[in-house]
Amino acid sequence: MSETRTLREREGLIFERSSAGRVGYQLPPLEVPQADPASTVPAGLLRGEIDGLPEVSEVDVMRHFTRLSKWNYSVDEGLYPLGSCTMKYNPRINEEVVRLAGLAQLHPLQPSDQVQGALALMWQLEQALLAVTGMARVTLQPAAGAHGELTGMLMIRKALAARGERRAKVLIPDSAHGTNPASAVFAGFETVEVASTPHGTLDLAAVARHLDGGDVAALMVTVPNTLGVFEPEIVKAAAMLHEKGAFLYMDGANLNAFVGIALPGKMGADALHINLHKTFSTPHGGGGPGAGPVAVSQALVPHLPVPMVEREGDRYTLAYDRPGTIGKVRGFYGNFGMLVRALAYIRSLGRDGLKSMAEGAVLNANYLRTRLEGDYHLPYDGPSLHEVVFDDSIQAASGVKNIDIAKRLLDYGFHPPTMSFPLIVHGALMIEPTESEGIDELDAFVAAMKAIAREAREEPDLVRGAPYSTPVRRLDEVRAARQPVLRWRRPDD
């Protein structure tokens, strides 16, 4: 074992590296008279140095976080086929332009004549997202997909209120991502789960029954759904909803499957959130930040959150005067840094590149589907788009579950697929390769999956004990939950 690896393995918490007297940053000279806080603030409201904060040098900090970084797997390193998460390549030009001082340092409360470039950029992004969705307007404010869902559902609530109605129910297919029901509830609705058809798609008859029962505000549906299957009757569903005065909320987590090919506006969507961190390549950042702009139909335009960026001639303004608005959903105007990156990506790809992106995503997923079918069981065998969902039923015969396959993949140097949903597939392996991968990378992944399928038959214990080559082995999640340790404390505390 090399010395570097040993050092890396030994790296503790930053607090444990602390050594009295070390400093990691030096401020310039104060230049003005020192001011005693106690001269302006009562002593009881003051504090001194904060106990437990570390004392480390700049070098210590660089080494510490560099070593931590080496324990992570990332898109820069290889295929990251997390279904529905769309882990595609994050272009570096986007990181360069977002750091320009005229964008990165801009204060949100500068008068609008000082921020015309930022407002123009946001307006351009809205136009691009309108082109991609065929909707009427877009709010760029939501900070993430779930935040977009909430914003969309609040608009639907407001639209109903504007015509003097209160409806309680939101229909959600059982294949939905968990944020859908949670967001609907925080928008003041109750959720009704709709069972999927045997093909894993929306059950139109069930939707009709619920609509006949009354009190339905909206249907929340992901297109293509979490199986990667396009909802064949989405247009009919939208018409049924609209006829009863209800709305269609479309979860755009999988929009990357049909950009440049089809338009949610033509499908009848009333609200659609767009995860810029999925379809438009803004980096996932180890859990965020994302951005979840919401595109709406004409019916919801009056209810968009404030402010909206408006253009008058060649001037841009932030408009707050919107009588039907749901109000503000966050501080300021959106995750601007993510908006910059997304527009840079859209400009880099252009009209043909965006379509080619969707084609590549769908072709790559279907290639993996073809190569792995037989080794892994396909619970729903209809045509799929940008992702494919296998299950572990073949491997389960020898006691190997999806989580074991996932952990063994780590030994082969790949990040595993999504396993936590869709809930309609037991032991799911939801694979989304994205368009970023070439055939060589995909073939290497196929080889690993096939090897694991063989191991599951011949040496199931090997698979069940994986991983072996990662910085740590399987972690005891039961202990973490039974006796939560959520922060560092000094050993003598």
Partner 1 sequence: MAQPNDRLYTKTHEWIILAGGEATAGITQYAQEQLGDVVFVELPAPGKKVEKGAALGNIESVKAVSEVFAPMAGEVSATNGELETHPELVNQDPYGQGWLVRLRVAPGAADGLMDAAAYEKFLAEEGAH
Partner 2 sequence: MHRYQAGQGDRRAMLDAVGCASVDELFVSIPAEVRCGALDLPPARSEEEVRREFWAYAAANAAPECFASFLGAGVYRHVTPAVADALLQRGEFFTAYTPYQPEVSQGTLQAIFEFQTYVCQLTELDVANASLYDGATAVVEAVLMAARTLPQRRRVVVAGTLHPDWRAVLETYCEPMGIAITQAGWGGDGRVDAGALERLLGDDVCAVVVASPNFLGVVEDLPALRKAIAAAGALGVHAVAEATSLGMLAPGGRFGFDVVCGELQAFGIPAAFGGPLLGFFAARQSHLRQMPGRLVGETADSAGRRGYVLTLSTREQHIRRAKATSNICTNHGLMALAATIVLSLLGKKGVREVALASHAKAEYVKAGLRAQGAGSRAKLAFPESPAYNEFLLLHADPDGLLARLKGEGILGGVSTTRFGAAWPKGILVAATERNTREECDRLLDALRRLA
Tallying the residues shown for the chain, one arrives at 493
Q: Does 225 bind partner 2 (CB under 8 A)?
A: no
* x/- letters, 408..447, toward partner 1 (CB under 8 A): ------------x---------------------------
Pair 427, 393: CB distance under 8 Å: yes
477 lies in the site for partner 1, by CB under 8 A = yes
Tell me if 274 sits within 8 A of 288, measured CB to CB. no
DSSP string covering 376-425: BB-S--S---S-EEEESHHHHTTT--HHHHHHHHHHTT----B-S--TTS
114 part of the interface to partner 2, by CB under 8 A: yes
Residue 83 in the binding site for partner 2 (CB under 8 A): no
The site partner of 458 among partner 2, partner 1, none (C-beta below 5 to 8 Å per kind) is none
- Interface of this chain with partner 2, residues 396 to 415, rule: CB under 8 A: 406-407, 410, 415
CA distance 477 to 493: 25
Q: Which does 44 bind (CB under 5 to 8 A by kind): partner 1, partner 2, none?
A: partner 2
Question: Is the Cβ of residue 181 or residue 427 nearer to partner 2 in the bound state?
Answer: 181
| Site size toward partner 1, by CB under 8 A | 5
Contacts of 443 (CB under 8 A, 6+ apart): 371
Of 50-58, 210-218, 293-301, 449-457, which segment contacts partner 2 by CB under 8 A?
A: 50-58
Span near partner 1 by CB under 8 A; candidates 57-65, 155-163, 188-196, 473-481: 473-481
Q: Does 482 bind partner 1 (CB under 8 A)?
A: yes
Query: For partner 2, which residue of 293, 334, 422, 427 counts as binding (CB under 8 A)?
Result: 334
CA distance 182 to 190: 10
**DSSP state at residue 195:** P
Q: Which does 19 bind (CB under 5 to 8 A by kind): partner 1, partner 2, none?
A: none
How far apart CA 338 and CA 342 sit, in angstroms, is 6
Determine the Cα–Cα distance for residues 223 and 258; give it in Å rounded to an integer: 9
Question: Is 475 one of the binding residues for partner 1 (CB under 8 A)?
Answer: no
Interface with partner 2, residue 355, by CB under 8 A: yes
* Binding residue for partner 1, selected from 20, 35, 45, 481, defined by CB under 8 A: 481
CB 146 within 8 A of CB 251: no
CA distances (Å), origin 72, targets 67, 76, 77: 10, 11, 10
Q: Which is nearer to partner 2, 397 or 479 (CB)?
A: 479
Q: Which residues contact 137 (CB under 8 A, 6 or more apart)?
A: 126, 130, 295, 296, 301, 304, 308
Which residues is 461 bridged to in the sheet? none
d(CA 300, CA 148): 14
Piece of the chain touching partner 1 by CB under 8 A; list 119-127, 245-253, 393-401, 474-482:
474-482
Residues 148-207 that bind partner 2 (CB under 8 A): 149-150, 154, 157, 177-179, 181-188, 190-191
Bridge-based pairing state of the strands 428-431 and 388-391: antiparallel
Are 418 and 399 a contacting pair, CB within 8 Å? no
* 456 interacts with partner 2 by CB under 8 A: no
Nearer to partner 2, 348 or 397 (CB): 348
- Identify whether 142 is preceded by a cis peptide bond (ω within 30 of 0): no
Least distance (Å) from partner 1 to the CB of residue 479? 9
Q: Does 20 bind partner 1 (CB under 8 A)?
A: no
| Residue among 2, 3, 6, 51 that touches partner 2 (CB under 8 A) | 51
By CB under 8 A, name the one of 313, 487, 491, 492 that touches partner 2: 487
Which of 160, 248, 329, 428 binds partner 2 (CB under 8 A)? It is 329
Q: Which amino acid is residue 41, in one-letter code?
A: V
Angstrom distance (rounded) from CA 368 to CA 68 = 32
Region of 27-35, 301-309, 389-397, 477-485 interacting with partner 1 (CB under 8 A)? 477-485
Residue 120, binding choice from partner 1, partner 2, none, Cβ under 5 to 8 Å by partner class: partner 2
- Minimum CB–partner distance for residue 19 and partner 1 (Å): 37
Query: Footprint of partner 1 on this chain (CB under 8 A)?
Result: 420, 477-478, 481-482
